[in-house]
């Protein structure tokens, strides 16, 4: 059973996450030209859901603060598993691996649903 201290801890954590996510969106806006983008400059990606500096977008999973994107078909490729992405992104000093892992997990579920590639309520086999 949750306690009042648990409530306060989660309330503080959510406030800190909101600050982190707003900062990532601010950096993304600046990376895409700010208030005065150049002609032909791509807009800030539409965010479906966000985990710190990482976001699930209609494209796939994108880092908002660095130029790194994973297209949806790579996320949903049954041959390319979590280990591939985790081992590659763990080598990059700028990656918050926890945020990336959450974006990857949610991005797979969202894009599987959007692309009609399966149901998310089925039990997956242990690997």
Per-residue pLDDT, averaged over 97-117, amounts to 93
Residue 127 in this model has a pLDDT that exceeds 70: no
Q: How confident is the model at residue 49 (pLDDT cuts 50, 70, 90)?
A: very high
Beta bridge partner(s), residue 61: 56, 70
Task: Please tell me the pTM assigned to this model.
Answer: 0.86
Q: What angle do CA 44, 49, 55 make, to 5 degrees?
A: 50
Beta bridge partner(s), residue 60: 71
Q: How confident is the model at residue 40 (pLDDT cuts 50, 70, 90)?
A: confident
Q: Report percent pLDDT > 90 for the chain.
A: 71
| Residue 114: C-alpha distances to residues 1, 59, 63, 90 (Å) | 36, 11, 20, 28
Give per-residue pLDDT as tens, 66-81: 999 999 999 988 888 8
């Amino acid at each position: 059973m949750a306690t009042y201290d648990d409530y306060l801890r989660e309330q503080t954590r959510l406030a800190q996450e909101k600050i982190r996510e707003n900062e990532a969106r601010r950096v993304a806006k600046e990376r895409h030209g700010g208030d005065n983008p150049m002609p032909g400059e791509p807009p800030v990606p539409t965010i479906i859901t966000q985990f710190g500096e990482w976001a699930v977008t209609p494209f796939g999973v994108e880092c908002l603060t660095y130029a790194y994107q994973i297209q949806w078909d790579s996320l949903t490729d049954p041959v390319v598993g979590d280990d591939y992405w985790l081992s590659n992104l763990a080598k990059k000093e700028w990656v918050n691996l926890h945020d990336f892992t959450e974006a990857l997990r949610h991005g797979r579920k969202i894009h599987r649903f959007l692309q009609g590639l399966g149901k998310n309520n089925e039990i997956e086999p242990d690997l």
